[in-house]
């Protein structure tokens, strides 16, 4: 299991609602080791009280409970909070009856018996969704990067990509800057024009030609760049946008970081 102090779940508050005491205690023991704070409730009525009192980040609830069931509780929660992810645990015999409740805004239904691996993966996915809404934290492979590690990765990317440009064009850039923000990596290359490109640009009419040819170069080399960055970040990346400004001699490439890659 990932270090609790780094996991995407480590600082989240989770509310778990289950009326069967033995089941509640068993699963609570499992969840508690993976989250920041866990609150428990024995039915939907108590679950609403705990939700209003503690404002949890994620709600996990059984479907069938006395007083107020999981669906009814979810409806009431949605009247209070339309962002908090809700995961409902249900018996397979109840699957058909919950199909008509999709408009409530349930993030995931998990069928009993509970697969704990599926539960953790679901919690990580909804937590990632929550982080994207609420913050710009950098999350790779479900790990929140601290500033020092993030800076170290950016520096490695700058060094590797500077060498890559020199090998690809015969001229190394004067400077390379890499920025990781959320699930976007932006790399900027400064003063990369070759002698041939500078000669072409003596005629201003060739500006678009130089831009076009350099864009083709990056498109042609996109898989190589993705592979180099994957080796550094240990997760898949994909070229998302290429912007060339030969007049200013600045090239910019944006990559999407596949934050939940598990390869």
For the chain, domains (ranges, CATH) are 13-134 (3.40.50.2300), 147-257 (3.30.980)
- pLDDT given at position 4: 46
Q: Which residues contact 17 (CB under 8 A, 6 or more apart)?
A: 40, 41, 42, 43, 44, 46, 47, 50, 59, 60, 61, 62, 65, 70, 73
pLDDT at 105 over 50: yes
- pLDDT given at position 263: 38
Average pLDDT, the chain: 86
Closest CA to 246 of 197, 203, 181: 197
pLDDT in tens, 131-161: 776 665 666 666 667 778 888 999 999 999 9
More confident residue, 261 or 134: 134
Question: What percentage of the chain reaches a pLDDT higher than 90?
Answer: 55
- pLDDT given at position 179: 85
- pLDDT given at position 6: 54
pLDDT in tens, 218-252: 999 999 999 999 999 988 999 999 989 888 888 99
pLDDT in tens, 23-76: 999 999 999 999 999 999 999 999 999 999 999 999 999 999 988 999 999 999
Whole-angstrom distance, CA of residue 214 vs CA of residue 123: 43
pTM of the shown model = 0.56
Q: Is-contact 127 84, C-beta < 8 A? A: no
């Amino acid at each position: 299991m990932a270090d609790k102090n780094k996991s995407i779940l480590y600082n989240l508050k989770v509310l778990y609602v289950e009326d069967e005491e033995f089941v509640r205690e068993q699963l609570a023991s499992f969840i508690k080791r993976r989250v920041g704070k866990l609150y428990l409730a024995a039915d939907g009525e108590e679950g609403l009280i705990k939700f209003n009192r503690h404002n949890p980040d994620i709600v996990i609830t059984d479907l069938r409970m006395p007083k107020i069931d999981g669906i009814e509780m979810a409806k009431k929660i949605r009247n209070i909070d339309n962002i908090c992810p809700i995961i409902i645990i249900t018996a397979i015999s109840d699957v058909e009856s919950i199909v008509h409740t999709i408009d409530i805004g349930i993030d995931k239904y998990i069928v009993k018996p509970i697969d704990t691996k599926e539960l953790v993966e679901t919690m990580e996915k909804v937590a990632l969704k929550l982080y994207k809404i609420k913050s710009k934290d950098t999350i790779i492979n479900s790990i929140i990067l601290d500033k020092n590690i993030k800076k170290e990765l950016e520096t490695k990317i700058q060094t590797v990509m500077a060498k890559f440009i020199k090998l690809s064009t015969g001229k190394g850039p004067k400077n390379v800057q890499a920025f990781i923000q959320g699930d976007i990596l932006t790399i900027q290359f400064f003063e990369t024009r070759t002698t041939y490109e500078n000669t072409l640009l003596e005629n201003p009419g060739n500006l678009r030609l130089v831009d076009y040819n350099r864009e083709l170069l990056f498109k042609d080399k996109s898989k190589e760049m993705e592979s180099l960055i994957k080796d550094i970040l240990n997760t898949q990346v994909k070229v998302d946008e290429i912007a060339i400004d030969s007049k200013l001699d600045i090239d910019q490439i944006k990559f999407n970081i596949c934050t939940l890659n598990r390869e």
